[in-house]
Amino acid sequence: MLGSMLGSMTCLHRAVSLTVPLAVLVLSGCVDAGPAVEEELPTRFDAAERLIAIGDLHGDLEAARTALRLGGAIDAEDRWIGGNLVVVQTGDILDRGDEEEAVIRLFQRLGDEAERAGGAVHVLNGNHELMNAYRDYRYVTPGGFADFADAAVVDSTDSLLAALEPGQRARAAAFAPGGPLARLLAERNTAVIVGSSLFVHGGILPEHVDLGLDSMNAEIRAWLRAEAPQPEWIRGSRSPVWNRLYSDQPDVAACDTLSSVLERVGAERMVVGHSVQRTGITSFCGGRVWVVDVGMATHYGGRPAVLEIRDNRVRSLR
């Protein structure tokens, strides 16, 4: 089925992406999953006149649409109206919900539309994206497995896939390093700096600065493309996608560490997701860190909110 679809598919109309499996779009070139040889993917970007940051979405398409509309990125038909607006989504599109594929498609399309209009969309990898790549499926819903049932050809000789239920194997193959959707994740950064703001899912620590943000991003992308081993530092409480040092009522020592990191990378603030803030977008450490995970997905029952940075001034939109 995959081969015949690839042979006959056209990308002239984006409507195709509403009905054709995402992995087929990746393999056919309708969705860019990166070149065979890595090209440089910048970590730093120029300051934006206006930027919005969106936290964890966890497979909730309506939450994604609501947040994007709240931030002035899309209209009622999900078309880009943001002009030169920059959107940063801080990771965790995957898991806990049943509409992951639709959310991925939406951000892929909007990235193209934004670029043509002079804007940009940066979707980061969070811990749940990387969990799917290293085969941790604890938070995948039954609908999440069903949604990717045709996402990849399953290798019958893979003992790790064989150990899964049949309905789980295609998703696992698609997100495993080298798989079509892992290659899509490999076209994302894990941390970016836009203007004077550093964005990451969990938090950047001094050891990540020692490694270098460019190197950190490149190591994760190489692993997702199955070109290098999994970096040891992507798991555990000090991982840039798992760290909660700055987002869980940080103490003075944590704020001092944050200040040191920001000074070293040349940023004024860090924007993170990962830790649900039940009262809405929250800042700590005198406004040097902003936490944008408000539990907006249905799984958490929260209300959408986005962070706006306009002319380097920060506020929450609800």
Instruction: Please report the beta strands in the chain, taking only residues with DSSP state E, as ranges in sequence order.
Output: 44-45, 50-54, 86-89, 120-123, 191-194, 197-200, 269-272, 282-284, 289-291, 306-310, 313-317
* Tokens at 82, concatenated: 């943001």
Give the whole-angstrom CA distance, residue 75 versus residue 81: 6
Tell me the helices (H) and strands (E) count for the chain, helix number first: 12, 11
Buried/exposed code over 214-247 (b: 16+ C-beta within 10 A; e: otherwise) = eebbbbbbbbbbeeeeebebbbeeebbbbbbbbb
DSSP summary character for residue 74: B
Helix 100-117 × helix 61-70 angle, to 10°: 30
User: Which residue of the set 58, 122, 128, 208 is catalytic?
Assistant: 128
Query: What type of residue is 305?
Result: A
Distance from chain centroid for Cα 47: 20
State the number of CA atoms in the 13 A half-sphere of 260 facing the CB. Answer: 12
Which distant-in-sequence residues (6+ apart) come within 8 Å of 42 by Cβ?
none
The DSSP bridge pattern shows strands 197-200 and 269-272 to be parallel
Is 13 one of the catalytic residues? no
Positions annotated as catalytic residues are 128
